Amino acid sequence: MRVIRVTDHAEVSALAAELLAKFIAEHDEVVLALPTGGTPLGMYNELVTLARTGALDLGRATVFNLDEYVGLPSDHSQSYASYMRRHLYDRAEFDPTKLHIPDGNAEDLVAACASYEGRIAEAGGLDIAVLGIGANGHIAFNEPGCGLNSRVRVVRLSDRTVLDNARFFDDPRAVPRHAITMGVGTIRSSRALMMLASGEGKAAAVAAALEGPVTTRCPASAIQLHPSAVVILDEEAASALRVRPWSKEEFLADPHAPQFLFL
């Protein structure tokens, strides 16, 4: 696990986009898992800029979203399907047949989960999963207490997550209580992981995830067990860590730093 500290959210976004663009460029076919939320917005802007200047071909990317709300129409402004179109897919040239999101409106949600997990397998598995982290230590919508080998399934969101996500809704009471999420096991099966965090509100969760015990109380702590993971933090998100993170310059210049993304 490589933990890199940069100054602020803009630098988290720029470095994440730089590493992801390099990863995509070095592979003919690439299968990504991508998050929603506030954290990746800057990275998506950077990726769109790179694609528009011709420096990045996003058409080769197969994308699976980490999660989607249950029961929110896919054209609702806060569905994750809408989010992805608004912030990424409608702004760059993707191959629409390669874009996947769980169907939170399926009549048979159990079958929809199995089908999603199956599609990931058919695509050859995830090459890299980009993750945010919840203030309660969740990754995707795997809330504290979930199994660390869990697969795609329907979950109930914690009160904390519903409260955190209410900021995106006009009516906070409209935040769905359930979601379909990739499991921690699904995420751990990805060949590489890249976790991003910024802001003081994430400091405790980041410290628990990276320096605490691996425990279901903090699903993000599963990242410690992954052989090929990088974590990019801004100063505030890194502020509760006791082990000094790498600087960006150290990480990029060190010839012995495993090229974690390029295995």
Q: Are 22 and 127 in contact (CB under 8 A)?
A: no
One of 23, 33, 35, 63 touching ligand F6R (CB under 6 A): 35
Which residues does residue 142 pair with via DSSP β-bridges, in sequence order? 139
Nearest approach, Cβ of residue 136 and ligand F6R (Å): 9
One of 42, 134, 137, 245 touching ligand F6R (CB under 6 A): 134
Catalytic residue among 138, 164, 226, 234: 138
Establish if 139 lies at the interface with ligand F6R (CB under 6 A). yes
Nearest approach, Cβ of residue 250 and ligand F6R (Å): 26
**Maximum separation of any 2 CA atoms in the chain, in Å:** 52
Nearest approach, Cβ of residue 134 and ligand F6R (Å): 4
Rounded (10°) CA dihedral 151, 169, 163, 89: 30
H-helix or E-strand spanning residue 33: strand 30-34
One of 13, 39, 189, 228 touching ligand F6R (CB under 6 A): 39
How far is residue 202's CA from residue 212's CA, in Å, rounded to a whole number? 14
What stretches of 101-182 adopt beta strand conformation (E)? 128-131, 153-156, 178-181
Nearest approach, Cβ of residue 64 and ligand F6R (Å): 11
Binding range to ligand F6R, per CB under 6 A, among 3-11, 132-140, 143-151, 228-236: 132-140
DSSP secondary structure string for all residues of 213-250: --BTTBGGGGGGG-SSEEEEE-TTTTTT-SSPPEEHHH
Residues in 192-251 at the binding interface with ligand F6R, rule: CB under 6 A: none
Positions that interact with ligand F6R (CB under 6 A): 35-39, 66-67, 132-134, 138-140
